[in-house]
């Protein structure tokens, strides 16, 4: 197969495969800190009432014990993934202690010396201790508790199979890997657009992060800049040639002792499937993980339905684009993304004409899907034409200094906590419904049983390879005693 010479968009257009293109599997991962009513990291231990972090598929923690990580089930749309995320957030809130709130920003709250000491000394996942020690020494705790939002996306297998049958390629797995690599290259080449549209980290509230220099003015996104979640400058991993070469670059840095493991690669996109790269090459990429998004403090979920609608449309546009990018072009694109991340939030894009072209292209593409992507089109037009409508610009209009942002984020967290307390049951009904399985689904999310399918009449749950489908509620301890064993 010629490297980066797949004409996927042409095959889809010529064979009218737009309906197949619009499907797929979608997921969301978000990290959020538990904080006190005063806006400081909580000292409360991880909720013991939640299932074990060694096995829980949805509720985890990251570097800090306060840094909850919520991972949705793969579902059939980004909107459904967001609904799942809101359910997980309800469960998490319901099991938090006292008046703990959820910090709404990607950049951590103001930290005192004893906050940092507590983070350094408190860690209850011994199976991750070696990796955490490496991160602490290399990046420091203030940096490692920056949080973010990842999107998971897989193309429909039926689409890939039809495209393979229409192609001249001989091996399906090799073909599928090349399609995902082509898509990842497109996303990496347009990192700048994601940073502009969704950047929401204009300030750092801390001067204890040695990787973030003092900034006299707000920027669009510290987190997605060279000073945020980025590998050191000597770590060069690109999306220029093919998947095997991309993996070999990462493995070389690991062998040199420059990366702890593939988990320390902070690229725009990660390829997901088998944990071992050679196994993934042999069995195929299963989905992509997009790692470009700051949490949006204006949305309780951390990302809005309209933003997800737009991102899905952009992904379809990237699948359809048969443009190739060289290593040099990708370096230039990455530099542009960094420039935009460090711009004033109210600045126009330096390459606004490119964004306008994309806006025109995705508008034409959206015609193939009826009115499905109208909200996304409205959002992209609003933000490209008016920088003041972007999240970072809205943040600085609300809170124009780090001190004001600390105060505003604290108050916002408290308001959402109070709303949860006063509308606890109403929020549950809105998120889980009032059907026969509602409470059972919530309990499954608490203890770490996967909710694979849920309708009015059927509920399918799973723990590893053990799967059960029920038509009436059954105690979960009866169905899955392994999750309730001491």
**469, 320: one domain:** no
- Cα separations in angstroms, 308 against 135, 150, 274, 337: 31, 12, 27, 20
**335, 454: one domain:** no
Tell me, what's the pLDDT at 4? Answer: 44
Cα angle vertex 287, ends 360, 196, to 5°? 40
Tens of pLDDT along 169-226? 999 999 999 999 999 999 999 999 999 999 999 999 999 999 999 998 999 999 999 9
Tell me, what's the pLDDT at 6? Answer: 83
Residue 474 lies in a domain: yes
CATH of the domain at 357: 3.30.590.20
Question: Looking at the 3D structure of the chain, how many domains does it have?
Answer: 2
Residue 82 lies in a domain: yes
Measured in whole angstroms, the distance separating CA 321 from the mean position of its chain's CA atoms is 23
For residue 350, give the DSSP letter.
Answer: T
**332, 442: one domain:** no
Tens of pLDDT along 360-405? 999 999 999 999 999 999 999 999 999 999 999 999 999 999 999 9
Q: Which domain holds residue 158?
A: 8-415
Cross-strand partners of 25: 154
**269, 308: one domain:** yes
Q: Are strands 67-71 and 59-61 parallel, antiparallel or unpaired?
A: antiparallel
**298, 378: one domain:** yes
**394, 462: one domain:** no
CA distance 88 to 453: 16
- Measure CA of the first residue to CA of the last residue in the chain; give whole Å: 53
Residue ranges for the chain with pLDDT beneath 50: 1-4
pTM of the model: 0.96
**322, 445: one domain:** no
- Tokens at 281, concatenated: 């090459």
């Amino acid at each position: 197969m010629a490297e980066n010479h797949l004409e996927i968009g042409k095959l889809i257009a010529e064979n009218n495969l737009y309906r197949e293109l619009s499907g797929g599997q979608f997921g969301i991962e978000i990290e959020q800190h538990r904080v006190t009513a005063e806006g400081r990291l909580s000292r409360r231990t991880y909720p013991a009432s939640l299932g074990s972090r060694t096995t829980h598929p949805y509720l985890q923690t990251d570097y800090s014990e306060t840094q909850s990580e919520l991972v949705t089930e793969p579902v059939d749309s980004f909107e459904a993934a967001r609904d799942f995320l809101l359910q997980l957030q309800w469960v998490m809130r319901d099991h938090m202690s006292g008046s703990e709130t959820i910090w709404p920003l990607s950049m951590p709250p103001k930290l005192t010396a004893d906050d940092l000491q507590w983070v350094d000394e408190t860690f209850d996942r011994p199976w991750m201790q070696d990796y955490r020690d490496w991160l602490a020494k290399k990046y420091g705790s203030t940096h490692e508790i920056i949080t973010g939002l990842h999107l998971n996306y897989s193309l429909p297998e039926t689409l890939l199979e039809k495209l393979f049958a229409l192609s001249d390629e001989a091996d399906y797995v090799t073909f599928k890997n090349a399609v995902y690599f082509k898509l990842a290259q497109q996303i990496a080449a347009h990192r700048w657009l994601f940073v502009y549209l969704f950047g929401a980290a204009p300030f750092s509230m801390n001067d204890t992060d040695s990787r973030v220099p003092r900034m006299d003015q707000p920027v669009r996104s510290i987190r997605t800049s060279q000073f945020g979640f980025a590998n050191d400058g000597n770590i060069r991993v690109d999306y220029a040639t093919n998947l095997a070469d991309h993996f070999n670059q990462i493995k070389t840095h690991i062998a040199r002792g420059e990366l702890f493991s593939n988990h320390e690669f902070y690229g725009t996109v990660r390829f997901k499937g088998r944990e071992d790269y050679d196994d993934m090459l042999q069995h195929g990429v299963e989905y992509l993980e997009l790692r470009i998004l700051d949490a949006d403090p204006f949305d309780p979920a951390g990302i809005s339905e309209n933003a997800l609608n737009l991102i899905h449309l952009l992904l379809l546009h990237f699948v359809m684009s048969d443009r190739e990018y060289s290593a040099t072009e990708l370096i230039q694109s990455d530099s542009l993304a960094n420039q935009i991340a460090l711009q004033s939030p109210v600045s126009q894009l330096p390459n606004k004409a490119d964004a306008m072209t994309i806006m025109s292209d995705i508008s034409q593409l959206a015609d193939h899907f009826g009115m499905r992507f109208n909200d996304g089109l409205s959002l992209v037009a609003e933000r490209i034409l008016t920088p003041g409508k972007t999240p970072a610009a809205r943040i600085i209009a609300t809170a124009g200094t780090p001190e004001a942002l600390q105060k505003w984020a604290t108050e916002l967290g408290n308001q959402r906590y109070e709303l949860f307390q006063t509308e606890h049951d109403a929020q549950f009904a809105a998120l889980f419904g009032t059907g026969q399985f509602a409470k059972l689904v919530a309990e499954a999310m608490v203890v770490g049983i996967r909710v694979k399918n849920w309708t009015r009449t059927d509920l399918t749950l799973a723990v590893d390879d053990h799967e059960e489908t029920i038509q009436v509620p059954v105690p979960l301890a009866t169905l899955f005693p392994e999750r309730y064993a001491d």
